[in-house]
Structure formats: structure tokens, C-alpha cells
Amino acid sequence: MENKAQQEANRYIETVMAQLTKQANTEQFEHIMKENIQTKKASAKDEQDYFDRLMLNITYFVENKAAWMSMMRDTFGKGLVPQTTAIQSEATAHQMRIRQAISEKMDDYTKLFHSQYKALKVTEEAIVYDYAYASVEHSLRFDFLIYLTLQKDINNIFLGDFEETLRIVDGYVAYYADQCVNQMELL
């Protein structure tokens, strides 16, 4: 019985994510990404500083994923449907705390990044892809959360095991982010 319920929840997630992403404008995402990348590159002192700026943004997106997971568990994981305004307020509060925390640890992060650049022989192409991927994932996560709250049949999200449902949502976010970024010409 639970397996059938989980399958229904998975189909529901697939349908909602497909509806959300069919509205996405990859060309617009690409344009925004290129502008952001060029701004970071133009304002950087050198290549290492440019890479640092992209990596700090990636760190920000990774931390936001943890905040999103927490928001999902604290609402849907407890059988609650949050209001859109509550999601937006909480996301903004998390983002401000994350920015502050990253700012306070910036020297530690950049030291770590510098050792990775050398050890992994990091290229601009690799960092730009990771930056774009993390950025699109971030947008999709929060757009999905808000879009989900607007669905009349939202109770389908409560079918099955919530942790499995959350894993499926995250998998679709990764899939669609990859599809989107792979269509972009960023350099």
C-alpha cells in the first residue's frame, strides 16, 4: 500500500515540476548568468579572485539548499502547507543569515578554494558550469516550493514517505537544472 502511495506522490511531483519548468525561459536564464559572470570577472583583481567570487556564490547556493530542506521538513514534513508569504519571508531570513555567515568565514573559504584550484587544476569552464548549475538549482527549489503551495491538489505531496518524497523532489530539481544549464553557452 505504501509503495503505491509513494508512486502516486512521485508522479505528482513529476507533473508539478514539469508544469513549472515548461514555463522556464532558458534564454533568459542564460542572459542573466552571462551578465552575472561577466560582472564578477570584470570586477575581479585576477583569475583567482574571479574564481573566488563564483565559488562564494556556489557556497551560498549550497547553504540555501540546506535551508530549503529544513523549510520543507518543517512544513510539508509535518503535514503542513505553508503560505506563500511565509515561505518568502523565511527564505529571505535564511538568505540574510547565510550571507552573513559566509561573509564572516570568507577568508577560511577562500583559503580552502585556493588549495582546491591547484590540486584539482580547476578551469574557468568548470567553475562557471558549477556556478550556473547551483544558481538554477537554487531558483528551481524555491520556485517549486512556492508553485507547489498554489496547487489545488497539493495534498498529493503527503502521500508516501516524506523523506523519499523530498529525495525525489531534489532529484527532479537536479535533473531540470542540468537540462537547463547544458543548453546554455556561458563562455
Identify the DSSP state of 45: S
pLDDT of 58 over the 90 cut: yes
Instruction: State which H helix or E strand residue 128 sits in.
Output: helix 124-149
At 116, the amino acid letter reads Q
Instruction: State which H helix or E strand residue 4 sits in.
Output: helix 2-22
List strand residue ranges (DSSP E) for the chain, in order. Answer: none
| pLDDT at res. 2 | 59
pLDDT of 102 over the 90 cut: yes
Instruction: State mean pLDDT over 96-124.
Output: 95
| pLDDT at res. 187 | 87
- Please state, in angstroms and rounded to a whole number, the distance separating the CA atoms of residues 174 and 134: 9
| pLDDT at res. 118 | 86
Digit-coded pLDDT (tens) for 138-155: 999 999 999 999 999 999
